[in-house]
């Protein structure tokens, strides 16, 4: 009976993980720190501490590629500021393989009340209601299909509570991760 129970538990544990291969974009930027995602540990998240009068502003970024959408995520967090806006909506991508500049990029702002085409109007970002919900302003910069294998995203300056802040260019390079990951992630 113990042997059967041991076999069943072993099969359950082994079936919870599967071999996996995935393509992702490795990010880098001046002053940025790269982090791995939770389920499939690809080093694809970039955290940048933004220097300003408000000491706890953080930008998180990653590149997303799928059948349905391609974009760069820009998420702004921190609790010591109230308003945010971009000085321009002129995001630019440089394809580093083909040396092509793409400057007609659309961007979508995700606010508490929905998704909107990004504009330069000031947004009063509400403070988080709990400790786990700290991202206060999110932008998706839409990318072309297919996405370049290596590219740099140039982001226009932002205004946070009347402080103009320049964001460093973010570089992305396509990589492949192979390993074992949890089945249910």
Q: What is the mean predicted confidence (pLDDT) over 78-84? A: 86
| 171/10 Cα distance (integer angstroms) | 43
Sheet strand arrangement including 32-36: 32-36, 43-50, 57-65, 70-77, 135-142, 107-111, 114-117
Radius of gyration of the chain (CA): 20
Q: What is the mean predicted confidence (pLDDT) over 13-31? A: 78
Each residue's pLDDT tens digit, 141-153:
999 888 999 999 9
pTM above 0.75, yes or no: yes
Q: Which of 6-15, 20-29, 66-75 has the lowest mean pLDDT?
A: 6-15
pLDDT band at 79 (very low <50, low <70, confident <90, very high): confident
27-63 residues labelled b (16+ CB within 10 A) or e (exposed)? bbbeebeeeeeeebebbbbbbbebebebeebebbbbb
pLDDT of 174: 93
The answer to whether 183 and 25 are in contact (CB under 8 A) is no
* Mean per-residue pLDDT over the chain, rounded: 84
Give the DSSP H/E element, type plus range, for residue 10.
helix 2-15
pLDDT band at 30 (very low <50, low <70, confident <90, very high): very high
pLDDT of 162: 86
Long-range CB contact pairs, 118-122, < 8 A, 24+? 118/86, 118/89, 119/89, 120/85, 120/86, 120/87, 120/88, 120/89, 121/85, 122/83, 122/84, 122/85, 122/159
pLDDT band at 133 (very low <50, low <70, confident <90, very high): low
Each residue's pLDDT tens digit, 99-125:
999 888 899 999 878 899 999 999 988
How is the chain split into domains, by residue range?
19-182
Q: What is the mean predicted confidence (pLDDT) over 150-158? A: 96
Give the DSSP H/E element, type plus range, for residue 83.
strand 83-86
| 54/116 Cα distance (integer angstroms) | 26
pLDDT of 131: 55
pLDDT of 171: 97
In this predicted structure, the answer to whether residue 9 has a pLDDT above a threshold of 80 is: no
The answer to whether 45 and 27 are in contact (CB under 8 A) is yes
Location of structure tokens 């880098």 = 28
């Amino acid at each position: 009976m113990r042997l059967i129970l041991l076999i069943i538990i072993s099969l359950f544990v082994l079936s919870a993980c599967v071999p996996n291969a995935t393509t992702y974009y490795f990010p880098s930027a001046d002053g940025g720190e790269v982090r791995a995602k939770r389920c499939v540990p690809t080093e694809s998240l970039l955290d940048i501490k933004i220097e300003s009068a408000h000491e706890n502003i953080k930008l998180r970024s990653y590149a997303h590629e799928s059948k349905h959408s391609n974009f760069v995520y820009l998420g702004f967090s921190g609790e010591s500021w109230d308003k945010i806006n971009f000085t321009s909506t002129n995001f630019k991508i440089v394809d580093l393989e083909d040396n092509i500049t793409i400057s007609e990029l659309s961007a979508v702002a995700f606010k508490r009340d929905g998704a909107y085409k990004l504009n330069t109007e000031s947004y009063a970002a509400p403070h988080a209601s709990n400790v786990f919900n700290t991202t206060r302003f999110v932008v998706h910069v839409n990318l072309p299909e297919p996405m370049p294998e290596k590219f740099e995203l140039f982001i226009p300056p932002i205004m946070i509570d009347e402080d103009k802040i320049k964001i460093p260019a973010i570089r992305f390079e396509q990589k492949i991760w192979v390993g074992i990951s949890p089945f249910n992630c």
